Structure 1
C-alpha cells in the first residue's frame, strides 16, 4: 500500500524549487539532500524517482529542489505530484500509543458499551492535533473526533476496533 508523505503545492521562484506540503511525521528522514523520492503524477498516475538536491523549511512547508527540475516551467509541471512510500517499508512503531494513519483507516468505531458509531475514513492533521474523520454507520455523515486518550481510550489493531468515550454532544448531528 502506498502512503503519501508529501504533495507539491506549487513552484517557488524561477529556479525550479517546489513548495511541498509535508504529510509525514518524519520529514527530516524522508526529504534529505541526495536522497531519492518516489513521485506519482496526479493526472497520469505515472511513478518516477526524483533525486533531492536541497531541502529547506519555509512557512511551515518545505522548499525542495530536485535534480532535473531547473526552472519554473519544469516545477509547475509537477504541481500536485504526490511523494509516496510503500507501507511495507515502514518500521513498526515502538510506542504502543502511536499509530500510522493507514493502520487506523477502516477500523470500526464503537462506544464503550459496544454500540457501533461507524468507521474511520481518514486521519486529519490540524494545528490543534489529530482528528479521526468517522463515517457514521447510521446516516453516513462525517463526525470529527479528537484523537486524544480522554475521548479515544482504546485502539485495538488486532481486533480492528477503536473505542470512544465521547463527551456529551460530540456525536450529535449539527
Structure 2
C-alpha cells in the first residue's frame, strides 16, 4: 500500500509491532528532532480512519523506541496500527524537502555526468528511496541516504549521486585490468 503524505507534512516515524499489553508500539523514528514526538504532542497518521493521535509517552532504550498514544489502550488496537506513518507539519529546516519537491530533479554523478531523472520518492521499511529513470530508460531504486545522495539542490533542480558500483543499470561494474605490473616485459619470462 502506497502512502500519500499531505502537502506540507513530513514523516516523523513508522509504527512497528505492538509492545506489551497496554497499547504501546515500537516506532522507527525518522526525524532528528525526537522532541516532535514528546508527550502531549498531537500528530497525524497517513490513515484517514485513524486521523490524529496524541502522544502520551516516548521511551528509548538500547537503540529501540516505543511510543504510546492516549487513544490506544490495548494490544489489539496497537497491532492494528502497524505500518502507519506518523506525520507532522513541516518546519523550516535547511535539509528537509517534501517528496513532491524531488520529483523531476536531474540526477548527476559527482563528476557532473547525467545519471537520469528522479521520478518520485517512495517510503520503504528501511529508508526512503528515489525512483530514478536512467538515460537508457531503466528504473532504479536508489537508497535516499546521505552516503549515496550527498547533495540535494531543489532550487538548482538537481541531486548528486555517489552510487556504489553495480547500483545503476547504466553504470557497469568496473572490471579490474589484467594489464599492468603483473605482466612480464618483452623478453622476460614470468616466474614459475
Show structure 1 runs of 5+ residues with no match: none
Instruction: Give yes or no for contact 1:108–1:120 (8 Å, CA) kept in 2.
Output: no
Q: How does 1:39-58 map to 2 (within 5 A)?
A: 39-41=45-47, 45-58=48-61
Q: In structure 2, how many angstroms separate the alpha carbons of the residues matched to 1:6 and 1:168?
A: 30
* Equivalent residue, structure 2, for 1:90: 91
Q: In structure 1, how many angstroms separate the alpha carbons of the residues matched to 2:150 and 2:83?
A: 36
Q: How does 1:10-89 map to 2 (within 5 A)?
A: 10-26=17-33, 28-41=34-47, 45-86=48-89, 89=90
Q: 1:140/1:58 Cα in 2 relative to 1: closer, same or farther (>3 Å)?
A: farther
Q: TM-score, normalised by structure 1?
A: 0.69
**What's the CA shift string for 1:18-68, capped at 9, x where partnerless?**
111112222x22210111111232xxx435211111110145332111113
2:108 matches 1:110: yes
Instruction: Give yes or no for contact 1:105–1:122 (8 Å, CA) kept in 2.
Output: yes
Q: 1:72/1:56 Cα in 2 relative to 1: closer, same or farther (>3 Å)?
A: same
Q: In structure 2, how many angstroms separate the alpha carbons of the residues matched to 1:138 and 1:18?
A: 44
Flag the structure with larger Rg. 2
Q: TM-score, normalised by structure 2?
A: 0.64
Q: In structure 1, how many angstroms separate the alpha carbons of the residues matched to 2:28 and 2:35?
A: 15
* Secondary structure at 2:51 match in 1: strand
1:106 Cα shift? Answer: 4.0
Higher relative contact order (CA 8 A, sep 6+): 1
2:158 pairs, out of 152, 158, 161, with: 161
Instruction: Give yes or no for contact 1:122–1:134 (8 Å, CA) kept in 2.
Output: no
Instruction: Give yes or no for contact 2:56–2:70 (8 Å, CA) kept in 1.
Output: yes
Q: In structure 2, how many angstroms separate the alpha carbons of the residues matched to 1:170 and 1:65?
A: 39
Instruction: Give yes or no for contact 1:136–1:143 (8 Å, CA) kept in 2.
Output: no
